[in-house]
Homo-oligomer: A and B are copies of this chain.
Amino acid sequence: MLPKKTKYAIKALILLAREYKEQRPLKISKIAEAERIPRKFLEAIMVQLRNEGIVESKMGPTGGYTLLKHPEEVMLSTIIRSTGGPIALLPCVSLNFYERCDECVHEETCGLRDVVLEVREASIKILSKTSLADIIKRENKLIKKHNLQ
């Protein structure tokens, strides 16, 4: 499962992506309120996203956060990794949180690892082709569909 931290990060970035055309910084307090994220927690998350080069920050009044890249270029897989969310089901197939199974004698011949590797591949395939822009598109589509019924 993804930690809340990762979910919050994605939610916040979706909001920034919606504001992207304006290119006006969004304040943490605004984001926290809109997405119902604990303010202080979001603060820490945003700093992390800045360190990862995903957003830009500006201090002082008129300050806040802006998306650094175009929403079509910010992939879900990138956000998940940047906030420490693991994608793989086991550490032995994780690219970013790799850890050898201490009980496995031969990692290369582990059948479970082989399957879990396949699952990771399938997941990453989806997550690395889905951008913030895609999520917004999906959202608009779902809203339309939902209103029709």
**Of B1, B135, B142, the contact of A89 (CB 8 Å cutoff):** B1
CB of A90 closer than 8 Å to a CB of B: yes
Name the residue in A14, A36, A89, A115 with the highest tally of chain B Cβ atoms < 10 Å from its Cβ: A89
Chain-B contact segment, one of A21-29, A48-56, A59-67, A106-114? A106-114
Q: Does A119 contact B (CB under 8 A)?
A: yes
How far is A14 from B118 in the complex, measured between Cα atoms in Å? 18
Q: Is the CB of B130 within 8 A of A115?
A: yes
| Number of copies of this protein chain within its complex | 2
Interface of A is mostly: helix
- Whether the pair B115, A76 counts as a contact (CB closer than 8 A) is yes
Q: Is A72 on the interface with B (CB-CB < 8 A)?
A: no
> Using a CB-CB cutoff of 8 Å, which residues 109-149 of chain A contact chain B?
109-112, 114-115, 118-119, 122-123, 125-127, 130, 134-139, 142-143, 146
A85 to B, closest residue via Cβ: B89
Task: Pick the residue among B1, B11, B103 that contacts A112 (CB under 8 A).
Answer: B11
Q: Quick check: B35 and A108 within 8 Å, CB to CB?
A: no
